[in-house]
Every structure is written in structure tokens, then in C-alpha cells.
Structure 1
Amino acid sequence: MSLLPRAPDNGKPVILFYNDFFGRPPDTQSLAHIESCTFSTDRGDLSRAAAVVFHIPSMRKPKLVRKRRGQLWVAWSMESEINYPLLADQQFMRNFDLTMTYHQSADIWCPYLPDISAFETALAAPIPHKNAGVPLVMFQSSPMNRSGRNSFALELMKHIGVHSYGSFLKNRPLTIEDRGHETKLSVIGAYKFCIGFENSIAPDYVTEKFFDPFLAGTVPVYLGAPNIDMFAPGENAFIDASKFSSPLQLAQFLAQLDRDEEAYRRYFKWRENGLSAEFQRLLSAASGEPFRRLAEIVAARRAAPARHWGWPWSRNRAS
């Protein structure tokens, strides 16, 4: 995370990050190779910015600056509107020309989907040996809970073995060096099941909690998006916790699968068949860095005559 200097006057359109990202500057290191636009975090560039990006979850008060004529305003968020209701405030959202969110209907889709190469690597590797000693693993640090996940997980742990490595309900320390995501996947792979409970229930809000177990070679036990089936890499690839009447019923089902190796192995049949056509379509739609896609829109708009600045270039023209 780093602050960007004021944009040089090099003729390229400027994209300004107006506010912080949960108290920190946005991650700008990956933007250096995008040559069609110049990115800035200096509000001194506001008057000449071609596009201004607002991180909506970091806005505590819906105060907005005056919009320059011809400027694009971009509402950016990968968080659920259940937790950040400004995202669901239609009147407030009318201030913006483009949305960059996890919703498939967004102008620039920003899902949590890993790159297809991550799935190709996972499919090329053997399923790890399940030698953890208990059936389930959980990584959860945030207590944020608009889905009922906290009480569900606590009750589930009363009926079946769960190793919890996150700060929430932690009962197990890491015994290897923590190298971030790589370590997380290696730990998950030693368990038959991985708990992936979202902090809120919303269509399309599917985070790494669902995808990491697939990459690690285990079976996700998921609670979250009601349209989760369309995000699965194949049929019968995960266990939907919402289909069970109680944590006890889910625990009994998982314990039965833990004892029945043949039934458990059926959850890996999708690996033999390869990624489904629908899932490959999702991966293709999500390919490419979101801010590169924004830069392409901004650059194309700069090249177009002003009389063509209707939607999708601008919903709300400034006076």
C-alpha cells in the first residue's frame, strides 16, 4: 500500500483515488504497468481528473465534492451492501457513473474469483492426504456477522471436530511458518472439509472462503450467497450449509461422509470432468484487472468526441 504522487502533466487521462481503503492507501503497486492512464491519490488532481474513484465502504458520511463537467465518478466496493448500506442507497448511488463491485451486473465486475491458472494448477496436483486428525478446518478472523455464521459455527463445533486457526474461535496455532495464502492452502489441504461462512447473505457475494478449499484440494462447507451453485467449478463439488435444518444435522452429515470414503470421494468427481462450461464462462468474464478495465474505459472516452459522451460514458453529467 502506498500513496501516489501528484500526476505529471503527460497528456494521459488521470484516475484519482479520492479516499482511502479502510484507513490505508489503496494498493497501487499493480497499477504501474497500466500505461493508458495515470493513477493518483493526491486530491490536488481532483479538478483535472478524468475519473474519480470513491471507495464506498470507507465513506462514513455521504459527502461528495463538486463534480467537474465530463468527469466520471466510480463507486468501488468488494464488500456486501448488507454491511455497508450506502451501496444500497439508490439516491446516493445516482451520483456515480460506473460501479466496480462483486455484482455481476456491475459496469466493471470485481469478483473474488481466482485466475483460471490457479484452478489449472490445483487440478494438476493430487488431492492432499487428509491427516489432520479432525474432519473440519476454519479460518475466520473477523467477528462481522450479518449471516448468523458465528453462532452456527460455535454450535457446529460442539458436535464435530473443527480446527480453527483464525482469531475468531481460535483453538489451533499454526505449527509452520506463516507465508500467507500459500500456508493457508497447505493447511486447508490436510482436512476433508473447510468451513466457509460469509459475513452476510447476498447474491453474487462469494469470497475466497468458497474458492480457497477448491484450490487446496478439499471440500467447502459453505454458507452465503443464495446463487452459490453458479460459482461452483462443477456439480456436487461442495456442501451447502443452508440446506440443513441445524448445525447438528450438518455435523451428522459430515461425520457420515468422514466415515464413508467412497461417498466423500464423489465430491472430487468434478476434478476428473474438468471445469464446467458455466464456470469457465465466469472465469473468462472476470479475467483482466478491474482497474485496467477502468483505464480502458477512461482512455476510450477521452478518444471519443464529446457528443458521444452518453451512457455508458456518463449517467450524470455535471453542469
Structure 2
Amino acid sequence: MLIPDNLFPPDLETRRVRVLAWTAHYFDRDFVQDFAFETPDGRRLTLEFTADRSRLASCDAIWFHAPHLGTLPERGRHQRWILASMESEVNCPVLTDPSVRSRFDVVMSYRLDSDVPLVYPSRGSYGNFRDRRPVNTDISPTGAKVLYIASNPVNDRDSYVAELMRYIEVDSAGACLNNIEPEEFVAGRHSWGRGGWESITRLMRRYKFYLAFENSIATDYVTERVFHALRSGLVPVYRGAPNIDEFLPSKRCIVNTADFDSPEHLAGYLDELDRDEDACNAYLQWKDGPFRESFESLLTVADVDPRIRMAVKLMHGCGSECRCGGRLRNPGGVVEPVSPELHWPRSRELHARYCGLRGPDCSGYVSDIGAAGNFDRLRYGDGELLIEKKDDIFKDYLRDGYTWEPHVRRWLVERIRPSDIVLDIGAHIGVHSLTMSRAVGSRGRVIAF
């Protein structure tokens, strides 16, 4: 991830820009307004941001909210068009539609490779993230240690939580799966303006774990849910972006559902953490150390209002190759690989017990069990793998206690049912075939080739 070292280019000649908001939007009610600001070197810049369509011809740029796109106006000769959205590409498919994207000059979105990234974890909103959960905090009204808050129904998200509730007690304060109504919780329309932000953080501090589940799963789509929990000093249980690691202050600060085969196994691990205070506190040790450089980059960009960064981008008149809007990844670039040092449980024994990789004696789920010609035999969970001796990358990765492609394993476990017949086309060494075999059970069948 790149560090935004120059949000205000020295060759910035234009000092005023007029922008018309053509569509409605989900941002704050006062999002569209005029304001002036100064650069660090003292230059005064002005943004005229209006929703008055009668000023279309006189504006330098037209701003569109992707979920409200609708019919587009006639484009002025020198006008630049801006596409904005904090919704994921799953819920707003126009963000990935080439026929739509090609019509816009500047993109403002949750994507780190957008011209003007819209990211959540600013110092202005969250402070320094060093707060810890009070030692003598009140317990929840029900005694539950897990909190869930969601008010917009999402089938796969809610079904995961409902299944989790079968194995561990979860308090749900939102409209989805609601089972508690705490007096201090502020919900409903425009709740942020009525103290909703503060009420959520106060409520969180009565729990050990918070289910920070996104409404969709997409690269870079990391919302306020996980940052609320990180700031409040409890352990986030995260379900969402496959590259969540790029957004975290440290390597061990969340429990990732992608590391578990099922809600049942996740519940078992959370119960273990609840009973082992040292293991639970290990997820909070990041608050006492330095933040990752990538996390500091997010904070640096988010501390500059996105409207200011948008205005600077327009004034500079540059293309996507310039980072003056705060871009954090090269356009069209591949997402930097997530470090394999993920959020594993504190021992292989616990991982074996609670991640579904359980050997016959539960003494370890990955071990060499001999050789067969040019192959090594490797015990993986309750199955065996034959790995070519030259395939050290697979053998070493598995023996070191890591789950191969946990997001794929989760997808399979969520969809495969007992007695299913499953084709694994392109099975490679069979890691996912074993996952499928466990999922279909003794009455099912996996055909792998």
C-alpha cells in the first residue's frame, strides 16, 4: 500500500472549482455545500458544491451517486464527471460495468485504487484507537458475551448469525434477529445525528466480542463495523472483505470467520476465548504497539475530507496516474497479497478442535505420515493428502498450521449439504475435496479429478 505523500500538488494553479451534485445520495444531509480550505503551504482553495441543476452549464464537474444514477444529462464540453459510492460492487453493480465506468473521469469509492478513496478509519472519528474495554464493565443484560447489530436484512449474513446463535448466546440489538432492546441504544433513520454513533460504542463496551459482518463480501469493502469494535476495545469477529488484513492496525486484532468451517466451530472458539482471559487479551495487545504502515496510510487519507480531495483532483486536472486524491493502490494493480501470518488460534490443538480439522486423536491436524514413491503422505484433518515432494509450498504451508484458501472453504461449507453429490473439477492436491467430503457426510459423494 502506498503512503499518500502529496495530497496537494505544488503545480496546482486552479484555486476554485464548481461541482453540481446531479443525483440524490446516502451521505450526510449537509454533504453538498460550499466551503473553502487551505493547503499546508497556505494556498486558499474554494469548492462550490451545489445541487441546483439550473447551474449545470456553469459547473466544472458533475457529481453522481452510483446507486442513484438514473438518466444522465448532456455533458458539457469541458466538464468532468465524478462517480461516487460507498456501496459495494455487489450491491451496486454499475461500479464494475465498463460501459458505465468509461463515461466518468474521477471515481470516489471504497476501493483503495479509486481516484478518491472513501475510507472509514479517520483519527477525527475514532481518535487514536487505543481505548480498551473497561476492566469492570457491566455485563450485558442477558449475560451474553457476543453482540450483533444490523438493521438491514441480508440473507446470508443473518442466516450465519442465526446458526451461530444455536451454539453461543448472542445479543442482537438491531432490527435483524432482534432479541434485546437496551435503553441506551439509538436506532432508526438518521440515528448518527441523534447520538447513534456514541450509543453503539457505549453498548459495545458491555461485551467481549462484536460480530462485524459486512452486508456483502467484496475486495476493499470494509465499513465502520470493524472500526467501531477496534476503537471500543472489544474483539471484532469479522466476516467480509477477503483482504481485510490490509485495513487492520496489526496482524492479530480480529477473529476472522473465514478461518472457521462453520458457525458451530466459530462458536466453540469464542467460548474458549471467553474462558481463557489471556488468550482473549492477546487480541488487544496491538493497542500497545505501533500501527502498521498501511493502517497509518488509511488514517492519513481519511483525515482529509473526501470533498477536499475531490476538489484538489479536479483543480489539478490530472488522470488516474496521479495520487493527489489520496489513491492508495495503483490503478488496475493487483491487490497486494495478504500476509500468511493471519489470525490463527493460539495453538494447533485449538485450531484442530474448533476449525473442523480434527485428527483421530486430536493431537494435531497436519502431520507427515510417511512417503509413497515420489509423494509425501500428509495427514490433513481426518483425511490424507499425497503431495509431490517438489510441492514444498503446499506441504510447508499446511504443516505450519494454515488453512489453504479459507474463503473458499467457507463458501463450500455454507453451500454443501449432507448427502449432496459434488463435482470437484480441477481438484489439484485435494485440499478442498476433503472439505467437501466432510460436508456431504457418509451419505454424500465427492467426485474429484
State the TM bucket, normalised to the shorter chain. Answer: 0.7 to 0.9
Match of 1:198 in 2: 214
Cα distance between partner residues in 1 of 2:266 and 2:298: 29
Cα distance between partner residues in 2 of 1:128 and 1:292: 37
- TM-aligned CA distance change 1:254 to 1:126, over 3 Å: closer
- TM-aligned CA distance change 1:71 to 1:311, over 3 Å: farther
The CA deviation string for residues 15-65 of structure 1, in whole angstroms up to 9 with x for no partner, is 11001015x985337753455121110111111110100001112x4x321
Match of 2:24 in 1: 20
Aligned partner of residue 76 in structure 1, secondary structure: strand
The answer to whether residue 57 in structure 2 is matched with residue 40 in structure 1 is no
- The farther-off stretch of 274-283 and 246-255 is 274-283
- TM-aligned CA distance change 1:216 to 1:108, over 3 Å: same
The answer to whether residue 110 in structure 2 is matched with residue 102 in structure 1 is yes
Match for residue 289 of structure 1 among 305, 314, 338: 305
Query: Identity over aligned residues, as a percent?
Result: 34
Match of 1:270 in 2: 286
Cα distance between partner residues in 2 of 1:312 and 1:126: 40
The answer to whether residue 224 in structure 2 is matched with residue 208 in structure 1 is yes
More strand by share: 2
The answer to whether residue 196 in structure 2 is matched with residue 180 in structure 1 is yes
Q: Is the 8 A contact 1:193 1:220 kept in 2?
A: yes
The answer to whether residue 62 in structure 2 is matched with residue 52 in structure 1 is yes
Match of 1:165 in 2: 173
Amino acid at match of 1:84: C
Instruction: Give the drift of 1:154.
Output: 0.6
The CA deviation string for residues 161-186 of structure 1, in whole angstroms up to 9 with x for no partner, is 11111111111102226331011101
- TM-aligned CA distance change 1:311 to 1:265, over 3 Å: closer
Aligned partner of residue 36 in structure 1, secondary structure: strand
Amino acid at match of 1:89: D
Match of 2:250 in 1: 234
The alignment's TM-score, normalised by the length of structure 1, stands at 0.84
Q: How does 1:75-154 map to 2 (within 5 A)?
A: 75-115=83-123, 118-120=126-128, 122-123=129-130, 125-129=131-135, 130=137, 131-132=139-140, 133-145=143-155, 148-154=156-162
Cα distance between partner residues in 2 of 1:189 and 1:272: 19
Q: Is the 8 A contact 2:33 2:50 kept in 1?
A: no
The alignment's TM-score, normalised by the length of structure 2, stands at 0.61
- The farther-off stretch of 134-143 and 279-288 is 279-288
- TM-aligned CA distance change 1:234 to 1:25, over 3 Å: closer
Instruction: Give the drift of 1:311.
Output: 6.5
Cα distance between partner residues in 2 of 1:56 and 1:42: 19
- TM-aligned CA distance change 1:164 to 1:71, over 3 Å: same
Q: Is the 8 A contact 2:35 2:46 kept in 1?
A: no
Q: Is the 8 A contact 2:147 2:211 kept in 1?
A: yes
Cα distance between partner residues in 2 of 1:29 and 1:310: 24
Instruction: Give the drift of 1:85.
Output: 0.9
Instruction: Give the drift of 1:149.
Output: 1.1
Q: Is the 8 A contact 1:99 1:106 kept in 2?
A: yes
Cα distance between partner residues in 1 of 2:201 and 2:251: 22
Aligned partner of residue 230 in structure 2, secondary structure: helix
Q: Is the 8 A contact 2:171 2:180 kept in 1?
A: yes
Q: Is the 8 A contact 2:34 2:47 kept in 1?
A: no
Match for residue 82 of structure 2 among 67, 74, 82: 74
Amino acid at match of 1:104: L
Q: Is the 8 A contact 1:78 1:110 kept in 2?
A: yes
- The farther-off stretch of 11-20 and 225-234 is 11-20
Instruction: Give the drift of 1:277.
Output: 2.5
Instruction: Give the drift of 1:116.
Output: 6.2
Cα distance between partner residues in 1 of 2:124 and 2:295: 10
Gaps of 5+ in 1: 1-10, 302-308, 314-319
Q: How does 1:252-263 map to 2 (within 5 A)?
A: 252-263=268-279
Q: RCO higher in 1 or 2 (8 Å CA, sep ≥ 6)? A: 1
Aligned partner of residue 163 in structure 2, secondary structure: helix
Instruction: Give the drift of 1:274.
Output: 3.2
Cα distance between partner residues in 1 of 2:203 and 2:250: 23
Aligned partner of residue 46 in structure 2, secondary structure: coil
Aligned partner of residue 37 in structure 1, secondary structure: strand
Q: How many matched pairs?
A: 289
Over aligned residue pairs, what C-alpha RMSD do you find? Answer: 2.2
Gaps of 5+ in 2: 1-14, 38-44, 187-194, 323-449
Instruction: Give the drift of 1:119.
Output: 3.9
